[in-house]
Amino acid sequence: MKDQEKKQKPEAESVEEEFNDLMDREFIEMLELIEKMKKGEITAQEMKKLEFIRKSREYLYGGDA
């Protein structure tokens, strides 16, 4: 039983690390899209992506993510 627990813990840590990396990349992309929006260079598709990222982060983290 303990061997299984040891195996699950690193796997859980790996999943958490992968999730955090994804959130970091998404955050950077969100910042880049905001900069494009400020310059007036954002496309409609990029605007939809920005809104999706904002809403998903708000759902995950609550409030003004």
- Give tens-digit pLDDT for 17-55: 998 898 899 999 999 999 999 999 999 999 999 999 999
Dig out the tokens for 51 from the structure: 């809104």
pTM: 0.69
Question: Which domain, by its residues, includes 14?
Answer: 2-61
CA angle 60, 62, 65 (to 5 degrees): 85
Nearest to 53 by CA among 21, 19, 29: 29
pLDDT tier for residue 7 given thresholds of 50, 70 and 90: low
Number of domains the chain contains: 1
In this prediction, residue 6 carries a pLDDT of 61
**Sign of the C-alpha dihedral, residues 23, 24, 29, 32?**
positive
